Amino acid sequence: MSIQILSDNIVNKIAAGEVIERPASIVKELVENALDAGATKIAIYVKDAGRSILRVTDNGKGISKDDLRLALKRHATSKLNEDNLFSISTLGFRGEALASIVAVSRLRLSSKHHSSKTGWAVEAELGKISDVFPVSQNQGTQVEISDLFFSTPVRLKFMKSDKSEHLAITQTTINLAIANPNIDFTLQINEAKPHNFLSTQDEQSLCNRLKQVISKDFIDNAVPVDVRRDDMHMYGYVSLPSYHSAKPHHQYFYVNKRWVKDKLLIGGVKAGYSDLLPKSKHPIYTLFLDLPPDKVDVNVHPAKYEVRFRNPAAIRSCIVNALQLSFHKSEAKRTSNHLSTNVIGSFQSPSEENSTKISSLPLVSKSKTNIPNYTPPSSIHKYSNKTQAFGHNCQYDAEVSKQISYGVSNSLNDIAVESLVTAPENTQMVAWDDFPLGSACAQIHDNYIISQKSDCMIIIDQHAAHERILYEKLKQDYQKKAIKTQRLLVPEIVNLIEHDKDKLIEHTEILFQCGINIETFGHDAIIVRELPVLFPNKHINILIKDIVAEIHTSDGVVYDSLEEVNETVQAILSRISCHGSVRSGRILQVDEMNALLREMEAIDNTNACNHGRPTFIKLSLKDIEKWFERN
């Protein structure tokens, strides 16, 4: 076959295949046109998943009579000229959407321009456009599409079930509604009750919109983001690390109000949550990035889902720093409220049957020694001699805490806290509420610290909390190149399979920067000569094998980017802090408990351990009293 120029009809159908993937794509294109036209109210109606009717109505400025027919021509647009191809400030600009829709459906376009007294309309089918005729029309534009894909029956067969198409249309509407919280959206599918996303026209419009489309629970467990860097502005809401999802659900990112699904942006958010989330969990977020139009190319994808940045490294850095700064600024030591809700919900009031069984049991001795895993009051005598450890005040001396904290942290020396004396008589008295995590009262099951404030009770996992504290300190020391190490009196030999040994040796320099000095020792072993000061010698073999496993996971043999190096470093430091922290099963004195709480308050990100598990849970006094049926 000789070379020939394709007809306009075929060209439009090809373009339709790129732009119009499914009915939801049409909704996106038409709503974006309405937004660019300045609409404040947008209504969407869908029948039979868009096969029969798909209609979008807006109250924008409208299209003039002379432009109606032209609007349906290919590459006709009012949003682009010869000079601003690389500085796009509108949502729709390619001039392909309406022409592509006309190629695969029957279309009616009616509009009343804000300067006109009369509405006008045109109809089109298979690229043929009728003459303009008058209609009764309020200001704005209405596009009604019928018999979708009638001219391309193969495309019609590829449409999914009505339920799937309806879900896609709903999600597309939500994507657009989030980006425009000051605009009213109405979506009606068949004859079902409409979905109304109404604006509140105030400073809380975005917050209110997110309550509508995600949940109030998300807002209650989210951290606001509002960071400016150079000519970039990032804002929105991100979930607390302890409030996450099993799937990447409710993740919205907008560049200049345009919803995008870009790997660079997704990777930036992932890096911002680095070492705060369990590996199998995903954050929930809505983030906006505003920057000059000439610094982002939105003309790289037919459906405009992907973008290209002039300086991608700066964008990623901005995202990571914005998230970390927002977590730092957030309310001191927050964890998601669903943790405490789940705890309260797991309690069950005894039924009458159980109550009868309980009442028939013989009385248990009141001796404290009969209660398993109970830390007896003798551990709090230092407090009870001068004040009530379970009462309104507690004693706390910063210098004593500092010494105790070092004793708890230094697992090598394992300093005995019994030798520390009670705070002097003139120690300043402080109330529970002077500290975000309150005052420690007791330890249960040799791992959980019970703390209290006037309005809540707090349960702290001592191992998870101390693990995070050490990890954050190690990261700070690593950045300063100041990790304190000590040379082993007797170097440790660790046997490994040859492949693992080779993998470890390839990371000798990174390990050295993390405070671990190793050398090869034969073909299937390494020798450890130096370790961070806080690390216990008895766990060296386990530590090295855990690090090998982390390196295999990171797969960082060849480093293509600094990010891969940092991920490996974080994994190594995380393992060191895990093995060096206070272990479950270690009985702590109250002074030690309070020292641990004060350290948690002084360091960032201590609401989750290195593996993303929560370090503490708050139970409000109100919920506790409700459970006990107190008014």
Average pLDDT over all residues of the chain: 77
Q: What is the mean pLDDT of residues 584-601?
A: 86
Find the helix packing angle between 263-272 and 312-329, rounded to 10°: 30
Q: Kindly tell me if the per-residue pLDDT of 13 is higher than 70.
A: no
Residue 229: which of 140, 115, 139, 314 has the closest Cα?
314
pLDDT tens for residues 370-380? 333 434 433 33
CA angle at 233 for the pair 232 and 239, rounded to the nearest 5°: 130
DSSP E strand stretches across 291-391: 296-297, 308-309
What pLDDT does residue 365 have? Answer: 34
Q: Can you spell out the DSSP letters for 187-220? A: EEETTSPPEEE----STTHHHHHHHHHT-HHHHH
**pTM metric for this prediction:** 0.67
What pLDDT does residue 30 have? Answer: 92
Spatial distance between the Cα atoms of 48 and 58, rounded to a whole number of angstroms: 22
- Reported as type and span, the H/E element at residue 311 is none
pLDDT tens for residues 502-552? 888 988 988 998 899 999 998 889 999 998 887 766 678 888 888 888 777
pLDDT tens for residues 147-204? 888 877 777 777 888 999 999 999 999 999 999 999 999 999 998 899 999 988 777 8
- 605 or 237, which is more confident: 237
Beta strand 251-255 pairing with 285-290 = parallel
Residue 174: which of 157, 193, 187 has the closest Cα?
187
Beta strand 456-461 pairing with 393-395 = unpaired
What pLDDT does residue 400 have? Answer: 38
pLDDT tens for residues 272-290? 887 788 777 889 999 999 9
pLDDT tens for residues 241-262? 888 888 888 999 999 999 998 8
Q: Kindly tell me if the per-residue pLDDT of 79 is higher than 80.
A: no
- 445 or 337, which is more confident: 445
What's the token pair of residue 412? 């090598």
Provide CB contacts within 8 A for 369, sequence distance 6+: 376
Spatial distance between the Cα atoms of 371 and 423, rounded to a whole number of angstroms: 30
pLDDT tens for residues 317-327? 899 889 988 88
- 542 or 299, which is more confident: 542
Which of the four pLDDT bands, split at 50, 70 and 90, describes residue 347? low
- Are the C-beta atoms of 107 and 54 separated by less than 8 Å? no
